Amino acid sequence: MVTQQEIEKMVRDIKQARRLIKEHQEIGVPEIERSLRIADMNLHWVLWVCGEAVQYLPDLPLEE
Partner 1 sequence: MYKGKLLSAKGYQARYWNEYSQTMPREKLNELHLKRIKNVLRYAYETNKFYRELYDRHKVNIDDIKTLDDFKYKVPLTDKPMIQPSQTPDNLYGDNLSVDESFIAGHYATSGTTGKPLYEAWEDYAIWRIGQSWCPAYWSVGIRPEDTFYFAFDFGGFAGFWSAYFGALRFGAKVISGAGVGMTTEKRIQQILELKPTVLVATPTYTLHMANAAREMGVDPAKTSIKYYVGAGEPGSASIPMIRKKIEEAWGCKCAEVLGVSEPPVVAPTCEEGDGFHEEEMHQFAWVRDPDTGKEVNEGDVGERIITNFSNYATIWINYRTHDLVRPIYSCPCGCTWLYYKGGVLGRTDHMLTYKGTNIYQSAVENIVSSFPGASDYFQLVLTRENEEDLMTIKVEAKEDLPPEQYATVAEKLRMELKAKIGVTLPVEVVPVQSLPRSAGGKTRRVIDLRPEDYRMELAKKYKSFE
Residues that bind partner 1 (CB under 8 A): 1-2, 7, 37-38, 41, 44-45, 48-51, 54-58
In angstroms, give the least distance from the CB of 3 to partner 1. Answer: 10
CA distance 62 to 64: 6
Select 28 or 56, whichever has its Cβ closest to partner 1: 56
Q: Where are the alpha helices (DSSP H) in 1-64?
A: 4-22, 30-49
In the complex with partner 1, the residue whose CB is nearer, 22 or 48, is: 48
Instruction: Determine whether 53 is exposed, middle or buried from the number of CB atoms within 10 Å of its CB (0-12, 13-18, 19+).
Output: buried
Q: Are 36 and 26 in contact (CB under 8 A)?
A: no
CB of 2 to partner 1, least distance (A): 6
Min dist CB 8 to partner 1, Å, is 11
